[in-house]
Structure 1
Amino acid sequence: MNAIKFLVNIFFAICFMNLLLFKANASDNLSLNLNHESPEEHEHSNSFDEENRVKYVGAVLEYEPFNKWSEEGKGFEVLRKNSRTIVKFAEKAKFYNADIIIAPECGVQSFYMFHNNTENFLTFTQYVPDPSLRMVVCDQEEEPDNKYEAIKILSCGSLANEIYIVANLAEFEPCSEEKIDQTLPWRYEIQENCPKKGYFIYNTQVVFDRKGAVIARYRKQNLYHEPLFTPGSNNSEAIFITDFNVAFTLQICFDIVHWNPGFANVKKYGIRDVAMSTAWFDTLPFYLANGVENGFSRGLGVNLLVSGYHRPEEGNLGSGIFKGYAMDNTSLYSFDENFRERVTSSVCGYSSSFEFTFTTNSSRERRKSP
């Protein structure tokens, strides 16, 4: 791809916590054949098929997760509080009739998990059921060791609000007889390539449908200085289809500058809607999050919903709604320099036809500059 497509409309904005909602035009009647050995590439057309056009309301959340360690609560307390925060904003998004909300990379476990020894690090991880089970973890009994507590909270949140939730977390997958817990409500298999430690850790996006079921589990393939994680390898894992007849492909942060999975799924299967979680580190001059994201959206002609981790003092920010499928040059990124609660909405023209809302959390004190 021409690099220029990635560098258009570079802009930089600062926000504290925001929730962007939009009504997007999406391609309808998608036919996905994931077992096709040589899938035909689908080229984007600038023209809309008005008769088959689908509209949906999507939301992206940018915030700084809770990250305070305590010996009593360990990582489990961090997971618990951040999962509840995501559910709280899912409820707000639903108030604006959102169909889907995306949360940021490390939005459940926070960055603090990387500052611990192995024993403590593992308390920031969660077991995730295979999407083929369509398991509603909300229906499962409480688990005393907190192995899937955050998954249960998110499952119950999506069920209660009847909204799709895309969350990112650190996934624990046992692969040896010693590590596999037979008391879980789902089963794991012994794997031949299992490391000596007996488990894998993945950087994982998990998708919950309106009924609270886990319907997708994508493991980040292109890791960025993440030695404790194992890279995923399956592009089809990143694809899910909603009840509003829109197919999405997932991607996490650094995936955006690689072929797999997003670029490949767009080109091979004609998918036009991408849900991305990121904890992007802005790097001058050209690796600013919103410039790369806008270029990806416009260059491929896709709707890109990006949820970013908010930590501007370390260069982490950059969420947005990018409407490349409509070939609309405007993008959504809102900020409030005073960090006061504010709700703003606007309706754009025919080609984009979407709305957004920005809100902040006024209960938290304004952060002082370092």
Structure 2
Amino acid sequence: MGLPKACACAVLWVLSALEACALGSYIAAVYEHSVVLSEDTEVPVSPEEALVLMDKNMAILEAAIKEAARQGAHIIVTPEDGIYGWVFTRETIYPYLEDIPDAEVNWIPCADPGRFAPSPVLERLSCLARNNSIYVVANMGDKKPCNSSDPRCASDGHYQYNTNVVFDSEGKLVARYHKYNLFVTEKQFNYPKDPEFVTFNTSFGYFGIFTCADILYHDPAVVLASRFQVDTILFPTAWVNTLPLLSAVQFHSAWAMGMGVNFLSANMCNSTLEMTGSGIYAPEGPRAYYYNREMENGHLLVTELSSHPRLSPDYPAAVNWKSYASRIEQLPSNNHYFSGVIYHDTFSFTELTEPEGYCSICQQDLCCHLSYKMEEKQKDDIYVLGAFDGLHVVEGEYYLQICTVLKCKSTDLDTCGQPVETAQTKFERFSLSGTFGTNYVFPEVLYSGVQLAPGEFEVLTDGRLISRTSTSKPVLSVTLFGRWYEKDPPHTQQVSP
């Protein structure tokens, strides 16, 4: 006879409600990979030789993917350049590239390998996803023929792209993204004419994807989070740690918090190049992260995330980043002001000479204000408050407004701004704010040993970055890292983190 219509509707509603509850969270994985590198990227190799190298890396990634699936992960992200390495020429990268079709072609390479041009890497990734019932995110190279009538077409007759691919748990290609903001050394690749805003839907959330240096620019990163309102960003990267403000775990966790998204960041592990730092970040703070400069082993992170963080009662409220600071009158100060350099940018600094107090410093239109109390200031730990308001022009051009409290490398003030990884002084409290001209500000708190501070600080809606408790570890830096995208110069090929 069947159910009455009303009952049938009720049953369907209950089932859909149960499904929604079941998918309110998901298990995310990222893998930090110690890549097997080519002995010489200046010497061309055959496609067969290229595949031998890629298979070595694929075997390592396969073990990580299987382990993530065993732990119940719905999706795993692997690093940029994780299949073949880096610093190729246009000619020497070519044997590693495959012709990757648009995801709209509805293709499962594992089940239909002969449908397009030979694609052994795509096939293997597809089968790894399909055989382990997990979404797989990987970075590889794409090649596309172009016509000599196209003024952007290189003399070799094709475009070459740094490319992310995503396969669903059936092994179907569901996303392809061409990196838009290339690092200065990526001369082997082209960037697409226009930025690509690549998203895809799953039963456990709405995803967007971009790569490494893209995070420093408006397109496509900010557009995916703000206009497309994705739940989670997937982020393959090969990030060289640049302390004191641009360490991988430090900046990527801050971006997730500032943009209000989940963020899955998979970095390389290479101590020679100071590459390490992967994480699974929520808008409220890191859920799992890894930073280790001593080891050359890969490392798998697996943890649970909210599928739709914007629906969470803990979701951060909108912030007016200059509200508090703009109400503070600039107090006359006898403090000594001096200049120091952080990653090629000249900051204005003032020393925190007392164990507690208030100080401020301005540069251009940005005034930074700090109220603080140290638990017990160690005499060898010198801290400064710094401000920078200007265009960064080395290895990429982008406009910054930064307020930062940081530990100097030594008691010599000339070392303030240089990279440092250890400190001895804890803070009982701090409150940092600035008269920002941008709404895009990323809050960073970094402890000794390049460790994050989950749950120990918060951003108030008036723009103050404050401590919730005494710091559990000595402080390296407390920073409000602002990006004023409207003041950036036009996009060019050579950009960088």
TM-score (norm. length: structure 1): 0.68
Aligned to 1:122: 94
What SS is found at the alignment partner of 1:132? Answer: helix
Task: Select the residue among 20, 25, 28 that pairs with 1:58.
Answer: 28
Of structures 1 and 2, the larger Rg is shown by: 2
Higher share of residues assigned helix: 1
Aligned to 2:289: 332
Aligned to 1:161: 132
What SS is found at the alignment partner of 1:126? Answer: coil
Task: Select the residue among 99, 105, 118 that pairs with 2:80.
Answer: 105
Given that 2:231 and 2:261 are in contact with CA atoms closer than 8 Å, whether structure 1 keeps it comes out as yes
Query: Aligned in 2, Cα 1:235/1:98: closer, same or farther, shift over 3 Å?
Result: farther
Identity across the alignment (%): 25
User: Structure 1 stretch 159-168 or stretch 130-139: which is displaced more?
Assistant: 130-139
Shift of 1:271: 1.3
Q: Specify which structure has the bigger relative contact order, considering alpha-carbon pairs within 8 angstroms and separated by 6 or more residues.
A: 1
Post-superposition CA distance 1:173-231 (Å, at most 9, x none): 12349xxxxxxxxxxxx978543321100011000111111111011111111122111
Post-superposition CA distance 1:327-360 (Å, at most 9, x none): 24665326596779999988999989xxxxxxxx
Aligned to 2:411: none
Given that 2:108 and 2:171 are in contact with CA atoms closer than 8 Å, whether structure 1 keeps it comes out as yes
Given that 1:323 and 1:331 are in contact with CA atoms closer than 8 Å, whether structure 2 keeps it comes out as no
Q: Counterparts of 2:275 and 2:297 in 1: how far apart (Å)?
A: 20
Aligned to 1:9: none
Aligned to 1:38: none
AA of the residue aligned to 1:294: S
Shift of 1:285: 2.1
Given that 1:84 and 1:153 are in contact with CA atoms closer than 8 Å, whether structure 2 keeps it comes out as no
User: Structure 1 stretch 66-75 or stretch 198-207: which is displaced more?
Assistant: 66-75
What SS is found at the alignment partner of 2:110? Answer: helix
1:240 and 2:200 are equivalent in the alignment: yes
Aligned to 1:91: 66
Post-superposition CA distance 1:77-116 (Å, at most 9, x none): 12222223222211110000000000000011212xx34x
Shift of 1:291: 1.0
Post-superposition CA distance 1:35-77 (Å, at most 9, x none): xxxxxxxxxxxxxxx9797201110000111224596752221
Q: Counterparts of 1:82 and 1:118 in 2: how far apart (Å)?
A: 21
Query: Residues 34-49 of structure 1: matches in 2 within 5 Å?
Result: none
Given that 2:38 and 2:85 are in contact with CA atoms closer than 8 Å, whether structure 1 keeps it comes out as no
Shift of 1:320: 0.6
Q: Counterparts of 1:227 and 1:86 in 2: how far apart (Å)?
A: 26
Aligned to 2:227: 268
Q: Counterparts of 1:78 and 1:218 in 2: how far apart (Å)?
A: 23
Post-superposition CA distance 1:131-181 (Å, at most 9, x none): 0012111123479xx94111111011111011100100121112349xxxx
Task: Select the residue among 199, 221, 234 that pairs with 2:180.
Answer: 221
Q: Counterparts of 1:311 and 1:68 in 2: how far apart (Å)?
A: 14
AA of the residue aligned to 1:287: L
Instruction: Give unpaired runs (5+ residues) of structure 1.
Output: 1-49, 178-189, 353-370
Query: Aligned in 2, Cα 1:264/1:97: closer, same or farther, shift over 3 Å?
Result: same
1:293 and 2:268 are equivalent in the alignment: no
Q: Counterparts of 2:265 and 2:221 in 1: how far apart (Å)?
A: 13
Aligned to 2:393: none
What SS is found at the alignment partner of 1:139? Answer: coil
Task: Select the residue among 137, 142, 147 that pairs with 1:171.
Answer: 142
AA of the residue aligned to 1:259: H
Aligned to 1:313: 272
